[in-house]
Amino acid sequence: MRALGSVFRGECWVTSHYLRCTVNGSFEKVFQELGAEFGDIYARRFGKAGEPKAGVILGEHYFFRVENDAALLITLEEVSGAETRLEIIACAAGSGLLGLSYGAHDSYVHTVEDSLTNSGFTVQVEQETSYFGRSGSLG
């Protein structure tokens, strides 16, 4: 069984979930919050003085429901001194019975959104795509 938007890698289907949002918060505060919570593999800021900042955060989390790790990629872009745009993608090789992800990727993405909200940030979701892949359209 193949989920729409999934890709076959080795012995299993790779599924993913995508969310783009704007956070009411400075780049530094948002980066620090997400880097501490989700950057267990990698977290790095980019940008020169006087230019908008950008960042990348990479993490992973084990999900029992799919008996595998899910990877999390967060890109951050400074929109203004008080706004930061995020793109959040959860994906990984591995899925549960019948090749289903059982919502692990969706759950991981929303854990990031919930963490920001619980930390006092306002999150404005701009786009969300289940079973996201390269062929998916991003506006």
Q: Which two tokens stand for residue 98?
A: 């019948």
CATH number of the domain that 105 lies in? 3.30.530
> What average pLDDT does range 31-49 have in this prediction?
93
Given this model, what pLDDT does residue 4 score? 39
Confirm whether 139 is domain-assigned.
Answer: no
Q: pLDDT > 70: what percent of the chain? A: 65
In the chain, the DSSP E strands lie at 7-9, 12-24, 42-46, 54-63, 68-80, 83-93, 122-130
Residue 117 domain-assigned? yes
Residue 1 falls within a domain, yes or no?
A: no
- Residue of higher predicted confidence among 87 and 69: 87
Q: In angstroms, rounded to a whole number, what is the distance separating the alpha carbons of residues 16 and 7?
A: 10
Domain total in the chain: 1
Q: What is the extent of the structural domain holding 41?
A: 7-127
Q: Is residue 50 a part of any domain in this protein?
A: yes
- Is 93 a member of any domain? yes
pLDDT of residue 105: 62
**Is 74 part of a structural domain of the chain?**
yes
pLDDT digits (tens, 9 = 90+) for 89-117: 887 755 555 555 555 666 667 888 999 99
Q: Which residue has the higher pLDDT, 53 or 62?
A: 53
In a domain, 2, yes or no: no
Tokens for 15? 């599924």
Residue 132 within a domain: no
Paired tokens of 33: 């919050």
Mean pLDDT value across residues 17-45: 94
